[in-house]
Chain A
Amino acid sequence: MTKTSLVCYRTWNLTARLILAGVFIYAGILKMGSPLEFADTIASYKILPAFAINLVALGLPPFEIACGLLVLMGLHLRIGTLGMLGMLVVFMGAVIHALIWKLPIDCGCFGEHSWFGSSLWIALARDGVLLFLSAFVYVSQFEPRWVEKQTAPFISE
């Protein structure tokens, strides 16, 4: 890796990590503060049975925060980003399900009544961007050369 591409790679990686960590920690804290509202949001997707809704509403926010902290601190980065990847795949599946069945709901991604409440299409696009970022960070842990190749067009020697 050349010096410039290494700087570029590190900048991209750090930016992606900060965005991912910020979003997941913020979302986790909001949901953790109002588990009942989060449970109502999960129920509105009509995917999970009643016995699993509250369990997910209680367990998912700490997982979001834990993954966010791992990615922020750079500790066990692969585990943190893989956790995020898994969550984002599940979130996108839920949003697509709601879109297919035309459920009249907001995504509830940042708690039911937060200022980030948005339509399902915006939520899907946002999840797509986050999925790309987390995949980028995860793969970059294995393949620094792949990242170097991807970021090459943006490097001005």
Chain B
Amino acid sequence: MNVRARAILYDVMMVTLLLTGCFGCGLLINEMRNPSLPLVYLTPEHRLNDVIQEMAASGAAPTGSIEDHQLAPNSSIPIANARPPSPVASPMVELKPEYLLNDVVQAMSASSTAPVSLEPEVNLKEMHQIVTDHSALILDARPRSLFQAGHLPSAESLPRDDFKRWYQVLENQLDSHRDKAIVVYCSSHDCPDSQLVAEALRKLGYKNLRVFRGGWKEWEGANFPKAKGCGC
């Protein structure tokens, strides 16, 4: 083995050593974080679901149980988590068509990369009307930093990744809209956050939920008025 090959081999070994050390450091830093990142990855859906379960268990969900709000008003599509009693526990129970559809939709959403919309949608024109009329509570499901950089006028921030904290901040405002329209949006058609937040709110008892699928990208592209800052 010539000198250069030996030098490269030495470099590779040192890089491996450095990589191992950095992974160790990363784990150590994570231990010092509050809250620390769990070692096994959970999808955003799972994390939000856990938060909702925790809030429901601790009584943060103000009224009704999760099962009370399974179907979207003005929509024939059931939400993904509205499941029938377990067919294993009662094998003679016949599944209703909407539950079968629900399973199909879940399977589709699991296999497809594009989020499947399960909430009634609002298009750009309708969204513009809502903003002009102040006829609904508008919620921004994007991370807080993006909300502060720019958002729809009169929108409130309810980020998917910090749902519990901001839900508590907005609780009074949300309660006053319990039976009124709430529109949720996120970055664009590709982002699932608006759908996840809308579903979470439905589980917490809010009824008249809509999703603006085009989101911030479509709104910004249309050159409609924007707002900046935290709005607090």
Partner of B41, one of A37, A43, A63: A43
In terms of DSSP, what is the predominant structure of the interface of chain A?
helix
Within 67-89 of A, Cβ neighbours of B (below 8 Å) are at: 67, 76, 78-79, 82-83, 86
Query: Nearest residue in B to A86 (C-beta to C-beta)?
Result: B15
The answer to whether A62 and B22 have CB atoms under 8 Å apart is yes
The answer to whether A82 and B41 have CB atoms under 8 Å apart is no
Q: At the interface with chain B, which of A8-16, A50-58, A122-130, A147-155?
A: A50-58
Partner of A62, one of B11, B29, B41, B142: B29
Number of residues of chain A lying within 8 A (CB) of chain B: 34
The answer to whether A54 and B15 have CB atoms under 8 Å apart is no
Task: Indicate if A108 sits at the interface (CB-CB under 8 A).
Answer: no
* Inter-chain contacts of A105 with B (CB < 8 A): 190
Distance (whole angstroms) from the CB of A110 to the closest CB of chain B = 13
The answer to whether A79 and B37 have CB atoms under 8 Å apart is no
* Inter-chain contacts of B15 with A (CB < 8 A): 79, 82-83, 86
The CA-CA distance from A66 to B25 in the complex, in Å, is 11
**Measuring CB to CB, which residues of chain B are less than 8 angstroms from any residue of chain A?**
4, 7, 11-12, 14-15, 18-19, 21-23, 25-27, 29-30, 33, 37-41, 43-44, 113-114, 142-143, 145-146, 161, 190
**Can you offer 24 A-B residue contacts whose CB atoms are under 8 A?**
A36-B37, A36-B161, A43-B43, A50-B40, A50-B41, A51-B41, A54-B39, A58-B26, A58-B27, A59-B22, A59-B23, A59-B27, A62-B22, A62-B26, A63-B18, A63-B19, A66-B22, A79-B11, A82-B15, A83-B18, A83-B19, A86-B15, A104-B114, A142-B4
